[in-house]
């Protein structure tokens, strides 16, 4: 398998993070040009703002954050400085992009909102412009982001797409992720990549969810019990959901995390991928071959591959790996029935030898980011218990057979007695002919 290397807002004072206008230079917006973007009061200013947002969206967010961190301690704010913002939505509206720019910018409108500081001592409103916001975002939801200062007071900021933390998440998984600081707004784009390989677009949220799941080993929120076929039938409905799934492990691989940024984000230089099999019940899954390959559909009956990833393994599983392959093992074949709790990520695709037998094409399967792995093998106590139950059952069966034989014997004796009495009565009542006649 492939390994996974008008909304009103309460405002917030942005954190001051001056970077000597480096961000403005990268974007091609000096102070004079930024002055043409704000306030957005006509077609010309709307067009300039749309162009600024277009460029912000195409600059790596890590780079903007890097710039923002360079001079966080300065006391003054200047136009084109990098600013962090965080707060609660109070107001939101949409601004139309000039028609002549729509095709070029691939944007028909952008978002204007105000946010309120979560700090009760600071109620200064910040006007925020961003290219988009999740369609489910409402007043009261929290947002967080980084962008470029539009005025000297820091009260207006143009940002890269904001992170979104809904006040009323649609399910338990979204609630847990939001509380852990994971950008729930990114899940819609994750779902849009179903049945596609993992790409750079997955990197940020994948590692964030992997780190968040590791902190939820003892979480009391009950996961939603599901079957593998549920994830195949409706993956979008389960994206980010907190689930429980029974599978059987096949192979465990330790994956190295090389990039320092991801090591810091994850808090580790590796994680684990578990290749497993989930039960399909009576469902048969067919994957069509590639076009013009002439192959037949690949068929899966009863069981289907499921991919699991986790930051760490439970002690019992580490011990099992050490016993079987040693502590330095990278890949360990290991078959164990387990129950996992975790977050469904999406269906991902990967090349496989099995699919090549049917004309090629990628196989797709569920990818789950795991918090807990529980062994479903019977324990010694369970085995003793089963034996005791077997002995009791055998004894009960023996008693049953004995009782049946005893009942048959009693019934047989009773039947013989009844027959004998009947014959006696018949003999007394019938007049037999005289033998002398």
Residue 70 binned pLDDT confidence (cut-offs 50, 70, 90) = confident
Question: Which residue do the tokens 């913002």 mark?
Answer: 85
26-36 mean pLDDT: 94
Sign of CA dihedral 323, 329, 332, 338: positive
What confidence tens digit (pLDDT) does each residue in 139-155 have?
A: 999 999 999 999 988 89
Asked which of 265-274, 323-332, 411-420 is least confident by mean pLDDT, the reply is 411-420
> What's the CA gap between 300 and 412, in Å, rounded?
58
Spell out the residues 6+ positions from residue 207 whose beta carbon is closer than 8 angstroms to its own: 262, 265, 266
User: Is residue 156 reached through a cis peptide bond, with omega within 30 degrees of 0 on the bond before it?
Assistant: no
Higher pLDDT, 412 or 185: 185
Residues 8-168, CATH architecture: Beta Barrel (2.40)
**Tokens standing for 209?**
């969810």
Q: Which residues pair with 272 in a beta bridge?
A: 254, 310
Whether the predicted pLDDT of 201 surpasses 80: yes
Which residues lie below 8 Å from residue 164, measured CB to CB, with a gap of 6+?
A: 133, 134, 137, 141, 142, 143, 183, 184, 185
Give whole-number Cα distances, 144 to 11, 69, 102, 141, 375, in Å.
12, 15, 27, 10, 39
- Band (pLDDT 50/70/90 cuts) for residue 436 is very low
List pLDDT tens digits, range 312-330.
999 999 999 999 988 888 9
Residue with tokens 């969206």: 57
pLDDT, mean of residues 326-337: 93
> Which residue has tokens 């034996």?
387
Helix, strand, or coil (residue 379): coil
With 90 as the cut, is the pLDDT of residue 61 above it? yes
DSSP string, 215-232: TTTT--SPPEE--HHHHH
Pair 141, 89: CB distance under 8 Å: yes
Residue 357, token pair as written in the block: 């037998």
For residues 278 and 301, the answer to whether their CB atoms sit within 8 Å is: no
CA distance 125 to 159: 16
- The Cα 16–Cα 71 span in angstroms is 8
Q: Is 50 a residue whose pLDDT tops 50?
A: yes
How is the chain split into domains, by residue range?
8-168, 187-377, 384-429
């Amino acid at each position: 398998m492939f390994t996974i290397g008008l909304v009103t807002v309460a405002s917030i004072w942005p954190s001051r993070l001056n970077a000597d206008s480096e961000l403005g230079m990268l974007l091609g917006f000096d102070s004079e040009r930024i002055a043409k973007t704000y306030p957005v009061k006509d077609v010309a200013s709307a067009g300039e703002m749309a162009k600024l947002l277009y460029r912000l969206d195409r600059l790596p967010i890590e780079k903007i954050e890097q710039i923002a961190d360079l001079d966080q301690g300065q006391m003054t704010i200047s136009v084109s400085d990098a600013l962090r913002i965080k707060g609660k939505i109070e107001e939101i509206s949409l601004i139309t992009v000039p028609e002549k720019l729509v095709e070029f910018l691939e944007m028909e409108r952008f978002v204007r909102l105000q946010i309120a500081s979560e700090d009760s001592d600071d109620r200064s409103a910040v006007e925020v412009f961003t290219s988009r916001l999740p369609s489910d975002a409402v007043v009261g939801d929290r947002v967080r982001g980084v962008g470029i200062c539009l005025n000297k007071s820091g009260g207006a900021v143009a940002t890269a797409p904001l992170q979104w933390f809904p006040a009323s998440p649609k399910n338990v998984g979204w609630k847990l992720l939001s509380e852990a600081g994971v950008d729930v707004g990114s899940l819609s784009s994750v779902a849009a990549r179903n049945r596609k390989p993992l790409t750079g677009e997955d990197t940020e949220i994948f590692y964030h969810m992997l780190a968040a799941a590791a902190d939820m080993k003892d979480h009391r929120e009950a996961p939603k019990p599901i079957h593998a076929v549920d994830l195949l039938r409706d993956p979008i409905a389960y994206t980010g959901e907190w689930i429980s799934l029974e599978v059987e492990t096949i192979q465990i691989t330790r994956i190295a995390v090389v990039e320092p940024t991801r090591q810091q984000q994850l808090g580790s230089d590796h994680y684990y991928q578990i290749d497993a099999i989930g039960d399909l019940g009576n469902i048969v899954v067919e994957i069509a071959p590639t076009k013009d390959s002439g192959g037949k559909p690949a068929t899966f009956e009863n069981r289907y591959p499921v991919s699991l990833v986790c930051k760490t393994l439970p002690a019992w599983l580490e011990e099992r790996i050490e016993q079987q392959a040693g502590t330095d093992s990278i890949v360990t074949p290991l078959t164990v029935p387990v129950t996992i709790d975790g977050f469904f990520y999406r269906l991902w695709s990967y090349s496989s030898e099995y699919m090549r037998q049917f004309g090629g094409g990628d196989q797709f399967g569920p990818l789950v980011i795991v918090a807990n792995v529980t062994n479903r093998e019977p324990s010694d106590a369970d085995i003793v218990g089963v034996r005791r139950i077997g002995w009791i059952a055998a004894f009960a069966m023996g008693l049953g057979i004995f009782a049946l034989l005893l009942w048959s014997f009693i019934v047989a004796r009773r039947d013989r007695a009844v027959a004998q009495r009947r014959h006696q009565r018949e003999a007394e009542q019938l007049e037999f002919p005289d033998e002398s006649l």
